Amino acid sequence: MDPLTHALSGALLARAAATPQPATLPVPRPLPLRWQIAAGFAAAAFPDIDLILRLIDILTYLNWHQGPTHSLIMLPLWAWLLAWLFSKLSRRRYNWRLFYRSACLGIAIHIAGDLITSYGLMLFAPFTTERYSLPLVFVIDPWFSLIIVIGLIASWRYPQHKIPAIAALLALCGYVFFLWALQQHAVSIAHRYISSQTLPQEQINVLPQPLSPYHWKIIIRDHETYHIADIDLSASSGKPRTGTWLLPSIIAAYRPAQENNWHIQQQFGNDPTRSALLRQAWLAPDFTLFRSFAQFPVLDSVDTQEPGLCAWFYDLRFKFPELPPSFRYGVCRDNDQADWRTVRQRGLFYID
């Protein structure tokens, strides 16, 4: 999920859980509402501090993004460090314990927000690097963000009441449940396709897509073969595939389920004469980091310049209609005796 939405969600949750301000000033001094909201905002932005890993290497960042800073096990430690920092920023007017709950809530809602995207979190780091994901929301979802913004505006308009913030959080839960229902619909479409094709092995993955909550990518993996469909669950009949502008073209690429808009991609392409060489390239030791990152790797292209060769791969999670794939990496060698080396190709977006 995008950093701003994360931070705003932390502010919203902190407002909903804020400690009431007493009429008289007790000892110790209570934490003002503005500090509670600010702490929730900052704490909810904090886990994405792992962006600094890009300074080391992009593949290192891709493999460790949403890692230890997104761990439930380490949440208490991060919350304590943030609470101590917030106390310092307040020039010790407020004890760190007063910030601790807001910090915990901010980090927790960040983890929850990323859990429902498709990237995957290391929820139990440092004990395991296994990733967990319930992909329901695309990384940028304007409806999700709008609910949060409306809740914050209403909370600002009625500063003495928690009800607007609580209502917005309940609306977010309702929206996520709506997305879960759409996901289950897409899963049922995948099962019908599997039955019609009598596939021997099924590994179904349904991923949210940009521009509409009704847009989903279905990936069915059968060994090295992918069956893929870009589905628009809101469309009951065909719509024209027209549009000269980019956004209408992307939207038009998502088709109604009844159009049977399936296509097949092979992990190592459709040329059997190259499959052995491409598998050798894929398994090269220098390509380990990309292999660890890619959940649905597929060959993009092969560049041949005798006697050298480059095989370019990407992950189907990051390929959207009408756009070049993000995080595209090649494994190259200069000649038959040279070692394979990893090469990065920049994509369309900054994050690439």
- Give per-residue pLDDT as tens, 254-288: 999 888 889 999 999 988 888 899 999 999 999 99
Residue 102 pLDDT exceeds 80 = yes
Output the pLDDT for position 201. Answer: 67
pLDDT band for position 92 (cuts 50, 70, 90): confident
Backbone angle region of 120, left / alpha / beta, with phi > 0 → left and psi within -120 to 50 → alpha: left
On the question of pLDDT at 252 being above 60, the answer is: yes
d(CA 311, CA 342) in angstroms, rounded, equals 10
> How confident is the model at residue 306, as a pLDDT?
66
Please state the pTM of the whole predicted model. Answer: 0.90
Instruction: Give me the pLDDT at residue 9, please.
Output: 97
pLDDT for residue 127:
95
The pLDDT of 158-178, averaged and rounded, is 94
Distances (CA, A) of 318 to 139, 177, 347: 11, 24, 11
The pLDDT of residue 139? 93
The reported pLDDT for the residue numbered 268 is 94
Residue 318 above 90 pLDDT?
yes
| Per-residue pLDDT at 202 | 73
Show the tokens assigned to 348. Answer: 């369309």
Q: Beta partners for 266?
A: 225
> 232 falls in which pLDDT band (50, 70, 90)?
very high
**Of 26-35, 110-119, 156-165, 281-290, the least confident:** 26-35
Q: Quick check: 21 pLDDT over 70?
A: no
Tokens matching residue 224: 């090295």
- Is residue 27's pLDDT more than 80? no
Nearest in space to 122 (alpha carbons), one of 108, 137, 132: 132
| Integer Rg of the chain from CA | 24
User: Does pLDDT of 241 surpass 70?
Assistant: no
Q: Assess whether pLDDT exceeds 70 at residue 237.
A: no
Q: What is the per-residue pLDDT for 240?
A: 62
Of the given ranges (15-24, 103-112, 257-266), which has the lowest mean pLDDT? 15-24
In this prediction, residue 106 carries a pLDDT of: 97
pLDDT greater than 80 at residue 43? yes
What's the pLDDT at 242? 59
Of the chain, the end-to-end C-alpha distance in Å amounts to 16
pLDDT(137) > 70: yes
CA dist 32 and 34 (Å) reads 6
Q: What is the pLDDT of residues 52-88, one digit of tens each?
A: 999 888 999 999 999 999 999 999 999 999 999 999 9
pLDDT exceeds cutoff 60 at 30: yes
Higher-scoring residue by pLDDT: 21, 94: 94
Residue 320 has pLDDT above 80, yes or no: yes
In this predicted structure, which of 74-78, 134-138, 210-214, 343-347 has the lowest mean pLDDT? 343-347
* Strand ranges (E), the chain: 204-208, 215-222, 225-232, 262-266, 297-305, 308-315, 328-333, 341-345
